[in-house]
Every structure is written in C-alpha cells, then in structure tokens.
C-alpha cells in the first residue's frame, strides 16, 4: 500500500453532500443526486486537474497495458456499464495502450464486450480459466469445469436450499462453476473442505461464489497471457474491486481499487480511487495519458 488518494477539496465535497441532503426529497432521489454529483465531480476533476493533487501513478511511469475487471469495476453494483468508463478505455486504445478485460465472467459475454468496445488486447475470462485473443486461433482453456459442477451438485445434497445450477452464465462456463452470491458462503467452504473436492478454491465476488481449481486466478491467467504476448508485468496497470482481483494486483506493477471495492481489495491496492466504480476511469485515464 503506497497510499490512498484523497478528494482535493474534502470540505467542499462534504458541503456538496450536505446541499444534496438539504432538499426535501426522497431517499432514492437523494441517492440519485449523490451519484450524479460524484460523476460530475469525477469528470470535472479529470478535465481540470489531470496531473494535480491525486497521485494515480508512480512518478514518470506510464503503463503499456491496462487490465480491467468488468463487474463492479466497469459497472456499478447493478451491472450497468459506466459510459464514461467506456469512453476512457477508448482513449487508451487510441493512444496505443491495449486494454485487457480480466473478469470472472465467461468467454461468450467477455467477447461481446471486447467486440463492441473494439479493444485490441486479449481477454482473461473465468478468473484466468479461459484466455483468448483473435490472433491465437482458439481459446486457451486451463481447466475442466466438470469437476466444479459435480461439486455444486453434491453441495445441493448437503446444504438445504442451495441451487446447484447457479448463475445464468454457467450455461457458457468452461473451466469453473458459479453459485449464486447469496448462498451460505461459510457452509459452502466448510462442506467443500471436508469433501473429495477439498482441493477446489471457493472464491466470493460481488456477483457469485466461484468453485474453481486452485491454479486458476486472474494472476496466473495474466502470466500465461503475458508470456504469449511477449509483455512484461512491469508494464501493466490493473483496476478491480473484488477479492478475485487480488492475484491480478500481485501480478501487475500497479493496482487501482475503484470506490466501492471490498475492504481487503482497497487495502491491497497501490491506489484507492475516491470515485465509485466506473467513475474512476475518466480521471485515471487522463492521468495515464498526461504521462510522457
């Protein structure tokens, strides 16, 4: 941890929030105003102060690759993509900095986002279980997900009410299996640890409980990817929000936790964004592009 970055005008920031609260409005409206105010603040800050106040990067260093998580990082907690983040990623690509999508999500969905954002970097899916780039002729699938699927079916016999089918994207999952995020995590961990599948990792994100083989992580996935691309970990900046991003943080030269990230992720990050989720990208990318 090198340090948290702070709002340059904390007193003004607090005043904004107080003013929002001064209106006679409902809680939902107040929340909407607050989110809007934060987004306006992030964009104004990026426009006027790209190089001042907030130390997004090590001095004099500019990443050659940027790896970003999707859920909770490019999206908010309701899975809505932040349009400002999309524009910011476009600027990176236009500047010759490839963007790598690094996600727990499946290849089919990640490919769709990659395609429509017109990104050039490879994709790292299923927490490193599946890697793909258009130049490779096919995906690299680093584990057989059938074992994790069988473990989920067994768990349903041990834990009352657990849904072994899990989340929708299991329909396309190739290397792991995902339970709903509100399943009893402690019970899942306990039963898995006592079972023939005790070698499987149980990893919680904001959107699922992943059952996966232990060699899979975003960190090992990026390692394989970077070897294949001839890239160095010293040249990558990564952005994330959840515990499945921690191995990616360890792999990368520099890590940024978005606002709203899990506490453990904020503690591990080199920089913690004061802006929620995707609102992080406008000022972060401005700071990257401001470096020579």
Taking the complex as a whole, the smallest distance from the CB of residue 209 to Mg ion amounts, in Å, to 13
Q: Determine whether 90 is exposed, middle or buried from the number of CB atoms within 10 Å of its CB (0-12, 13-18, 19+).
A: middle
Q: How many residues interact with Mg ion (rule CB under 5 A)?
A: 5
Closer to Mg ion by Cβ: residue 155 or 203: 203
Q: Is 69 in the site for Mg ion (CB under 5 A)?
A: yes
Closer to Mg ion by Cβ: residue 131 or 242: 242
Q: Which two three-digit tokens encode residue 119?
A: 């990104």
Q: Is 71 in the site for Mg ion (CB under 5 A)?
A: yes
As annotated, the active-site residues are 69
Asked if residues 65 and 239 have their Cβ atoms less than 8 Å apart, the reply is no
Whose CB is nearest to Mg ion? 72
Closer to Mg ion by Cβ: residue 71 or 174: 71
Sketch the per residue contact string, 237 through 266, with Mg ion: x for CB under 5 A, - otherwise: ----xx------------------------
Sketch the per residue contact string, 18 through 57, with Mg ion: x for CB under 5 A, - otherwise: ----------------------------------------
Taking the complex as a whole, the smallest distance from the CB of residue 55 to Mg ion amounts, in Å, to 24
Asked if residues 282 and 38 have their Cβ atoms less than 8 Å apart, the reply is no
Stretch that binds Mg ion, among 18-26, 71-79, 111-119, 186-194 (CB under 5 A): 71-79
Stretch that binds Mg ion, among 30-38, 178-186, 235-243, 269-277 (CB under 5 A): 235-243
Q: Which two three-digit tokens encode residue 186?
A: 């402690």
Taking the complex as a whole, the smallest distance from the CB of residue 241 to Mg ion amounts, in Å, to 4
Can you tell me which of 63, 72, 84, 122 binds Mg ion, judged by CB under 5 A? 72
Closer to Mg ion by Cβ: residue 155 or 257: 257
| Phi, psi (deg, nearest 5) at residue 178 | -125, 125
Closer to Mg ion by Cβ: residue 69 or 174: 69
Taking the complex as a whole, the smallest distance from the CB of residue 258 to Mg ion amounts, in Å, to 9
Taking the complex as a whole, the smallest distance from the CB of residue 16 to Mg ion amounts, in Å, to 27
| Angstrom distance (rounded) from CA 197 to CA 188 | 11
Q: Determine whether 281 is exposed, middle or buried from the number of CB atoms within 10 Å of its CB (0-12, 13-18, 19+).
A: buried
Closer to Mg ion by Cβ: residue 127 or 220: 127
Taking the complex as a whole, the smallest distance from the CB of residue 205 to Mg ion amounts, in Å, to 6
Q: Is 82 in the site for Mg ion (CB under 5 A)?
A: no
Positions in the binding site for Mg ion (CB under 5 A): 69, 71-72, 241-242
């Amino acid at each position: 941890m090198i340090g948290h970055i702070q709002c340059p005008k904390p007193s003004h920031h607090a005043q904004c929030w107080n003013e929002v609260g001064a209106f006679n409005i409902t809680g939902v409206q107040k929340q909407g105003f607050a989110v809007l105010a934060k987004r306006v603040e992030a964009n104004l800050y990026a426009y006027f102060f790209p190089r001042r106040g907030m130390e997004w990067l090590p001095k004099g260093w500019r990443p050659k690759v940027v790896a970003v998580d999707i859920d909770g990082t490019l999206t908010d907690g309701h899975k809505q993509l932040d349009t400002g983040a999309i524009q910011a990623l476009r600027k990176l690509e236009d500047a010759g900095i490839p963007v790598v999508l690094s996600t727990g999500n499946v290849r089919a969905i990640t490919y769709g986002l990659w395609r429509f954002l017109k990104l050039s970097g490879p994709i790292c899916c299923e927490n490193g279980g599946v890697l793909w780039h258009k130049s490779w002729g096919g995906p690299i699938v680093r584990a057989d997900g059938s074992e994790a699927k069988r473990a989920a079916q067994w768990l349903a016999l041990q834990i009352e009410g657990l849904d072994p089918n899990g989340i929708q994207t299991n329909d396309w999952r190739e290397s792991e299996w995902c339970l709903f995020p509100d399943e009893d995590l402690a019970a899942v961990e306990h039963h898995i640890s006592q079972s023939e599948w005790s070698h499987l990792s149980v990893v919680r994100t904001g959107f699922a409980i992943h059952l996966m083989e232990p060699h899979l992580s975003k960190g090992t996935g990026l390692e394989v990817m970077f070897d294949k691309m001839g890239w160095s970990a010293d040249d990558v900046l990564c952005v994330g929000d959840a515990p499945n991003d921690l191995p990616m943080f360890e792999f990368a030269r520099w890590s940024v936790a978005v606002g709203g990230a899990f506490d453990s992720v904020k503690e591990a990050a080199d920089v913690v964004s004061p802006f929620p989720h995707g609102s992080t990208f406008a000022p972060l990318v401005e700071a990257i592009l401001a470096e020579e």
